Amino acid sequence: MCLFVATPTRPWRQRARRQVGILSSVSKTPPPGPPIKRQPRQKRSQVLVQSLLEAARLILDREGQEALTTNHIAEVAGVSIGSLYHYFTDKDAIVEAIFLAEEEQSIRQRIGWAAEAIDLPLEEMFRLFIERIAEQHRRLLEMHKGLYLRHQEHTDVRRLADARAAPSADGRHAVEIFLQAWCERHVDEIRPRRIEQAAFLLDRVGYSMMRATVDERPEYLSDPAYVEEMVQLLVRYLRAD
C-alpha cells in the first residue's frame, strides 16, 4: 500500500506554471543590423541613398508594407538594384534607416517644443508633449508596426536626445532637466516642494507610460481619451489644489 499520496495541484498553480513556461520560452527579437552598410560620402551617393529612403516612404504611405520590396524601392527611386544593395542589406535595413532619421527629426522638434512649453500652464505643457509624441509614435507604427516595435525595443531614444542637448554632469536626462526648469519657474503653482525629485519622477513615469503603450497597447495611441488620461495622470501629481 502506498503511504504517500500526491497532493493534487491546485488550478492556480497549474496556470502559474504554464505562464512561467510561456514566459521562459519567449525571447526578444534580434536587434536590427546597421541600417547602412557604408556611409555615402560624395554628394551623388548621398542623393542616391536619400532617394531610396524617400521611395520606401512613398511605397509604405501609398501601397502599404506588403508592396515594399527591394526591387520596387529601386524602381520607384529610379536606381539599379545593385546600387540599392551597395548601401543596404535588405528592405528592413531601409526601413530602419527611415526610423533613425525620424528619431533625429523628432529629437530636434522636442528641443523646440521645450522652448515653446517652458512658459505654458501645467495642463497645456503636458498636453503639448504627450499629444505630439503620441502622434509621432502612431504615425511610425502605421508605417510598419512590426519593424517599428523592433526598432523601439533596441533603440535608446533617451540617449539620442541627451546627446543632442546640453550635457549634464550628473547624468540626468534632457527631459528631466526641462521638467525641473519648468517646475522651478512655476513653483507657486505646483504641490511638490522637492523639485529635483518631482522632475525625476515625472520623467521616469512619463517615459515608462509612453513606452509601455507603444509596446503593449499601440492602438491606444489613436484614442484621444486615453492620451488625455496620460496627460491628467501627470497633471494630478503636480497640481497644487
By three-state DSSP, how is residue 173 classified? coil
Same domain, 69 and 174: no
Q: What share of the chain is helix, strand, coil (3-state, %, to 5)?
A: 75, 0, 25
pLDDT above 80 for 74: yes
The model's confidence at residue 108, banded by pLDDT at 50, 70 and 90, is: confident
Q: Is 46 part of a structural domain of the chain?
A: yes
Domain extent at residue 39 = 31-89
What percentage of the chain exceeds 90 in pLDDT? 60
Per-residue pLDDT tens digits for 143-182: 888 888 888 887 776 666 666 665 555 667 888 999 999 9
Domain CATH code at residue 82 = 1.10.10.60
* ∠ Cα 25 30 32 (to 5°): 165
Same domain, 108 and 141: yes
Mean pLDDT of the chain: 84
Count of CA atoms in the C-beta half-sphere (13 A) of 148: 22
Same domain, 135 and 80: no
Q: Provide long-range contacts, Cβ within 8 A and 24+ apart, for 2-5.
A: none
Q: Is 151 part of a structural domain of the chain?
A: yes
Same domain, 82 and 145: no
Q: Is 1 part of a structural domain of the chain?
A: no
Q: Is 195 part of a structural domain of the chain?
A: yes
Q: For residues 197-223, give the mean pLDDT.
A: 94
Q: Is 22 part of a structural domain of the chain?
A: no
Same domain, 38 and 118: no
Same domain, 83 and 108: no
Partners of 190 in the β-ladder: 239
Q: Is 105 part of a structural domain of the chain?
A: yes
Alpha carbons 88 and 77: distance in angstroms, whole number: 14
pLDDT above 70 for 27: no
pLDDT above 60 for 6: no
Q: Is 4 part of a structural domain of the chain?
A: no
Please list, in sequence order, all residues whose beta carbon lies within 8 angstroms of the beta carbon of residue 92, skipping any fewer than 6 positions away.
32, 147
pLDDT at 18: 46
Question: Among 52, 70, 89, where does a domain finish?
Answer: 89
Place of cell 509601455: 212
- Count other Cβ atoms within 10 Å, centred on residue 112: 9
Convert 206-233 to b/e letters by CB count within 10 Å (16 or more is b): bbeebeebbeeebebbeeeeebeebbee
pLDDT above 80 for 220: yes
Same domain, 53 and 103: no
What percentage of the chain exceeds 70 in pLDDT? 79
pLDDT above 50 for 91: yes
Q: Which of 4-8, 94-98, 174-178, 235-239 has the lowest mean pLDDT?
A: 4-8
Q: Is 175 part of a structural domain of the chain?
A: yes
Alpha carbons 179 and 176: distance in angstroms, whole number: 5
pLDDT at 124: 96
Question: Among 70, 89, 108, where does a domain finish?
Answer: 89
